């Protein structure tokens, strides 16, 4: 595309967002908030002599560490790789166990198995969707090395209780913030609670650089280990360099970093625009007695949702939930089930987990629908989405229910 054509597209788009070849009647689940700021940042890298990992990555790391309030940040290609190298940096592997939630971002949790450790699941809080410390404690054994707690869909986990539990049992506490950038627990930003914290910047994150992630920590030794496992430095390209650790060569490109840095500089603006979308959803969801709008716990001081999740009442079944998702798609609304519990997926099923092992997770997952959530939604579209969902719920024969 020529620069003139690109500028014409921008001029024709709302709020400086580039228009693409899309079905105008289709409402996508996510749609990145991209402006000329991001385009110009990537363009400058495209015109530079270095596209691979370099100074733009270092700038993004420094800015992100400052934003979260951590001493070190290490850029990676994904949240999965981020958690993997974090586990490797602590020497966690075969013969050891890591406690995690069965109700979480699948790709990140997979890192436990990739590292060779055994994922041990614990059930969740029905309202918040986060790990319950009391459930975790029953799963701790002599082989347990760490707890991976997720800030599910942007809702912070109970970090004070989790830290006390980890300290009591001498366990590492790893924070999965792949879905929660910008949220706060007791006034502190997510990403500041774990021994390390992992972020993911793929869609539908408010901050996206296509694909990418970040691991943050305050421990210099861990930061060195993270970088050692991630990739060789640019000045270590010579074959005479000998390393004790074979790296995954999992760096971030300068292009992705430039996009991520531009998004980070606009993050508060993006989050505020998403909060306006949330308020519109809240307005229309109140008239729908059959669903529960997203819950916010008493210790949460700022909430930034990853997706807009609604919880169907107990009269709904898993099949009726799926039928509602299908009806929405027929009406050109992209919705999704959130989520398929990890312990019921093939890899974990082969480890011996079965339906009925984590009843709260299953109950919540069977009745949760993710609706489109991004800054480009209009009030008319949100009204249409909720009304369509109401009609779909009538079609499946389910009504209001008590939680």
Are 249 and 85 in contact by the 8 Å Cβ rule? The answer is no
Residue with tokens 């006390």: 164
Res 22: pLDDT: 53
Percent helix, strand and coil across the chain, each rounded to 5? 40, 15, 45
What pTM did the predictor assign?
Answer: 0.90
Q: How many other CB atoms are found less than 10 A from the CB of residue 120?
A: 19
Q: Give the fold, CATH level 3, of 40-265.
A: 3.40.640
Residue 171: partners with Cβ closer than 8 Å, 6 or more residues away:
140, 144, 145, 146, 147, 165
The length of the chain, given as a count of residues? 403
Rounded Cα distance, 193 and 177, in Å = 10
- CATH code: domain 270-395 is 3.90.1150.10
**Element housing 329 (H / E):** helix 318-330
Query: Token pair of 202, please?
Result: 């793929």
Do the two domains 40-265 and 270-395 of this chain adopt the same fold? no
Give the pairing of strands 72-76 and 308-312: unpaired
pLDDT, one tens digit for every residue, the chain (403 residues): 333 333 334 344 444 444 444 577 999 999 999 999 999 999 999 998 888 877 999 999 999 999 999 999 999 999 999 999 999 999 999 999 999 999 987 778 899 999 999 999 999 999 999 999 999 999 999 999 999 999 999 999 999 999 999 999 999 999 999 999 999 999 999 999 999 999 999 999 999 999 999 999 999 999 999 999 998 766 555 554 556 678 888 999 999 999 999 999 999 999 999 999 999 999 998 877 767 778 899 999 999 999 999 888 888 889 999 999 999 999 999 999 988 899 999 888 888 999 999 999 999 999 999 999 999 999 999 999 999 998 998 888 654 443 3
Residue 318: partners with Cβ closer than 8 Å, 6 or more residues away:
366, 367
Rounded Cα distance, 237 and 228, in Å = 14
DSSP state for residue 352 in the 8-state scheme? T
Strand order in the sheet with 308-312: 291-292, 308-312, 368-371, 336-337
Query: Token pair of 371, please?
Result: 């609706």
Domain segments of the chain as ranges: 40-265, 270-395
């Amino acid at each position: 595309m020529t620069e003139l054509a690109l500028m014409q597209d921008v001029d024709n788009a709302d709020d400086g967002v580039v228009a693409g070849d899309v079905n105008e009647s289709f409402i996508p689940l996510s749609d990145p908030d991209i402006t000329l700021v991001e385009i110009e940042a990537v363009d400058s890298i495209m015109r530079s002599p270095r596209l691979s990992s370099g100074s733009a990555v270092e700038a993004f790391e420094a800015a992100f560490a400052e934003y979260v309030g951590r001493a070190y940040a290490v850029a990676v290609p994904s949240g999965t790789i981020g958690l993997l190298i974090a586990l490797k940096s602590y020497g966690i592997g075969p013969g050891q166990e890591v406690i995690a939630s069965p109700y979480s971002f699948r790709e990140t949790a997979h890192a436990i198995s990739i590292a060779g450790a055994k994922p041990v699941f614990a059930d969740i809080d029905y309202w918040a969707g986060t790990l319950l410390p009391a459930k975790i404690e029953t799963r701790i054994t002599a082989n347990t090395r760490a707890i991976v707690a997720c800030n599910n869909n942007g809702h912070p986990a109970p970090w004070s209780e989790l830290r006390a539990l980890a300290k009591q049992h001498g366990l590492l506490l790893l924070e999965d913030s792949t879905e929660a950038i910008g949220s706060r627990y007791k006034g502190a930003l997510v990403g500041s609670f774990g021994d390390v914290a992992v972020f993911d910047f793929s869609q539908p994150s408010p901050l996206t650089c296509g694909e990418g992630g970040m691991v943050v920590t305050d421990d210099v030794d861990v930061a060195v280990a993270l970088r050692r496992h991630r990739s060789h430095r640019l000045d270590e390209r010579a074959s005479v360099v000998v390393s004790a650790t074979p790296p995954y060569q999992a760096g971030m490109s300068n292009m992705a970093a430039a996009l991520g840095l531009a998004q980070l500089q606009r993050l508060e603006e993006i989050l505020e625009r998403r909060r306006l979308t949330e308020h519109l959803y809240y307005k229309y969801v109140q008239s729908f007695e059959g669903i529960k709008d997203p819950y916010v716990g008493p210790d949460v001081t700022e909430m930034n949702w990853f997706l807009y999740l609604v919880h169907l009442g107990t009269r709904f079944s898993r099949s009726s939930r799926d039928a509602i998702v299908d009806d929405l798609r027929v009406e050109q609304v992209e919705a999704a089930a959130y989520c398929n519990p990890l312990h019921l997926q093939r890899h974990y099923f082969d480890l011996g987990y079965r339906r009925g092992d984590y009843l709260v997770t299953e109950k919540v997952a069977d009745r949760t629908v993710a609706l489109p959530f991004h800054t480009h939604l209009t009030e008319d579209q949100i009204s249409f989405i909720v009304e369509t969902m109401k009609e779909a719920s009538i079609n499946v024969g389910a009504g209001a229910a008590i939680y």
